């Protein structure tokens, strides 16, 4: 296992992209109050930055999903945390760290949609479209990347590397 010494995406690049996304999202939700649903644990850092860059009133909640297969998604998802706030009639934006096979995000959107939000959209920091196993596209994407494993900025490998301020490539 080898962690790249240089950033794959630097702190500065992340900050600039988060600011861009926040501007687009703010415009799209100009007339609507947002409820951000952050997917734990990987999206915590991204959501914290995005929420402050949005610079508008919003509500924050969390969801946590476990997929049973120590890494790769299997399609069997168990929710260990669901939003406390009632989602009915709310404008919900799900904040994800990375869209890989797409199975996790699909399960989350399905589950939240059942709670009857007025609108439901997905924002992901990273997107690996070449790995997709189900048809899902995010409404907002930070960076589209190839089939590489990245850590840092909240993303982990076996609970390690979340604290890195930038995104690095981990060669497994």
Q: Which residues of this protein are in contact with ligand IMP, per CB under 6 A? A: 42, 73, 97-105, 149-151, 155
Q: Which residues contact 79 (CB under 8 A, 6 or more apart)?
A: 63, 64, 65, 66, 111
Tokens of 45: 């850092």
Tokens 């476990």 sit at which residue? Answer: 66
Catalytic residue selected from 20, 49, 97, 100? 100
From residue 130, alpha-carbon distances to 124, 135, 137, 145 in Å are: 15, 11, 12, 9
Asked if residue 93 lies in contact with residue 36, where contact means CB atoms within 8 angstroms, the answer is yes
Would you say 10 or 69 has its CB closer to ligand IMP? 69
CB of 105 to ligand IMP, least distance (A): 6
CB of 46 to ligand IMP, least distance (A): 11
Beta-strand pair 150-151/168-171: antiparallel
Would you say 98 or 112 has its CB closer to ligand IMP? 98
CB of 104 to ligand IMP, least distance (A): 3
Q: Is the peptide bond before 41 cis (omega within 30 degrees of 0)?
A: yes
Tokens of 27: 């415009």
Based on the residue annotation, tell me whether 127 is a catalytic residue of this protein: no
Would you say 38 or 73 has its CB closer to ligand IMP? 73
Would you say 90 or 104 has its CB closer to ligand IMP? 104
CB of 3 to ligand IMP, least distance (A): 12
Tokens of 146: 């190839």
Closest CA to 25 of 104, 122, 115, 111: 122
Instruction: Please identify every residue annotated as catalytic.
Output: 100
């Amino acid at each position: 296992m080898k962690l790249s010494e240089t950033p794959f995406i630097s702190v500065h690049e992340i900050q600039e992209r988060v600011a861009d996304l926040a501007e687009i999202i703010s415009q799209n939700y100009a007339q609507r109050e947002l409820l951000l649903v952050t997917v734990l644990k990987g999206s915590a850092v991204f959501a914290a930055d995005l929420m402050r860059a949005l610079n508008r009133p919003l509500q924050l909640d969390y969801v946590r999903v476990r997929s049973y297969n120590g890494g790769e998604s299997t399609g069997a998802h168990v929710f260990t945390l669901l939003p406390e706030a009632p989602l009915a009639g709310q404008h919900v934006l799900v904040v994800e760290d990375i869209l890989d096979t797409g199975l996790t995000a699909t399960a989350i959107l399905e589950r939240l949609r059942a709670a009857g939000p007025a609108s439901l959209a997905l924002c992901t920091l990273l997107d690996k479209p070449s790995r997709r196993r189900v048809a899902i596209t995010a409404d907002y994407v930070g960076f589209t990347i190839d089939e590489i494993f990245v850590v840092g900025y909240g993303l982990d490998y076996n609970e390690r590397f979340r604290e890195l301020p930038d995104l690095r490539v981990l060669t497994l």
